[in-house]
Amino acid sequence: MSNIAASSLPPMSGPASGDRDTGETVWTNGKPSAGQIAVCVPFYRDDPAHLAEALSVMTGAETTSLIFYDDGSGDDAITGGLKEELAGYPGAACLVTAKVNCGRAHARNRLAGLAAQDWILFLDADMQPDDGAFIDRYINAIKASGGPAVISGGFSLHHTRPSPETRLHAAQSRRSECLDAETRNKAPGLYLFTSNILVHRAVLETVPFDDGYEGWGWEDVDWGLSVVASYPLRHIDNPATHLGLDETGALLDKFGGSGRNFARLARRHPDAISQMPLYRMAKLFSRFPARSFLQRLARGGAAFTVFPVGVRLACLKTYRALAYSKDIS
């Protein structure tokens, strides 16, 4: 294992997003960068060692570079375990550790600046490719792309075993997110989930991720809607499993706390967002009195495990719309 200065990395496209001083340190496994694809993984307090292990046995791993960006986790155990895993990776591998958390958009922009390759595969830390041909499918998609583009593989729950505590999130994911390519291609920008996407560098230079989004939610849809105005965005069936299913309380907290991001999305893309059922529902609720009381009722219904899952999903959607109504009214 080697510990090197940031100046030994491939040239970066610019300073850290927003010129923020993140106090970064850089570690590499010392192997030369090669191939068409750099796999870039931002993470914050999620241990991505399992993902590094899965990628190491993929066909083509020796010519696929890995860059992990720790967005201020401050967890020496995660850092140490990931370094051990990356030391054995057959290709080039790098870990950048920041002292402060600046958000997922900043981390992705930073990763793009560190990558030497023109094609960048963004994966979330809690993802796992569904099979060993995952990288090969993306390489074939590059050949078919004809130029700069975004290629979205989608995601699944193939490797998960939902528990009673995560059953609601699993049901929500199956209904809204685990969609085949044919369905996603009908509205490519709205169905863009950045947990598993291959992006050409030219796209990122023209349309960077908006780091005005804070916390969880909606920066991926914002970026997808921005991309489709200028570049092809094609969905293919090359899923990775979302392993990080949230327990119901955590899911409700995420949904309830992402209203400001949704309002930002609506301001930036009013035509597209005004057609979303969630937006129309939130606008309707913005006229209701006693929204806080209704929101508590909906949250309780979503969390009540005795209810059929369909009823809980309806309560979850209502809770989310009620929470968002306070930010878009």
Residues 129-141 have pLDDT tens digits of 999 999 999 999 9
Mean pLDDT lowest among 37-41, 288-292, 317-321: 288-292
Q: Which residues pair with 98 in a beta bridge?
A: 71
CA-wise closest residue to 29 among 11, 2, 50, 54: 2
| CB within 8 Å of 161: residues ≥ 6 apart | none
DSSP class per residue in 106-157: HHHHHHHHH--SSEEEEE-TTEEESSTTHHHHHHHHHHHH-SS-EEE--EE-
Binned at pLDDT 50, 70 and 90, residue 272 comes out as: very high
Residue 13 predicted with pLDDT over 90: no
Amino acid identity, residue 259?
G
Task: Please report the pLDDT score of residue 209 as a whole number.
Answer: 87
Position 20 pLDDT exceeds 60: no
Of 92-106, 233-247, 304-318, least confident by mean pLDDT is 92-106
Long-range contacts of 293-296 (CB under 8 A, 24+ apart): 294/318, 294/322, 295/256, 295/319, 295/322, 295/323
pLDDT of residue 103: 81
Identify whether the C-beta of residue 59 lies closer than 8 Å to the C-beta of residue 132. Answer: yes
Closest alpha carbon to 171 in 19, 308, 71: 308
Looking at residues 27-36, what average pLDDT do you find? 92
In the structure, what pLDDT confidence band is assigned to residue 50 with cuts at 50, 70 and 90?
A: very high
The pair of three-digit structure tokens given for residue 78, joined into one six-digit string:
């995660």
Q: Look over the chain and give the mean of its residue pLDDT values, rounded to a whole number.
A: 91
What percentage of residues in the chain have a pLDDT greater than 90? 82
- pLDDT (tens digit, 9 = 90+) per residue, 154-202? 999 999 999 999 999 999 999 999 999 999 999 999 999 989 999 999 9
Question: Residue 284, SS3?
Answer: helix
Q: What is the DSSP secondary-structure string of 29-53?
A: --PPP-SSEEEEEEESSS--HHHHH
Taking only the tens place, the pLDDT of each residue in 68-81 is 999 999 999 999 99
**CA–CA distance, 305 with 282 (Å, rounded to integer):** 25
Task: Please give the structure tokens belonging to residue 202.
Answer: 């030219």
pTM of the model: 0.87
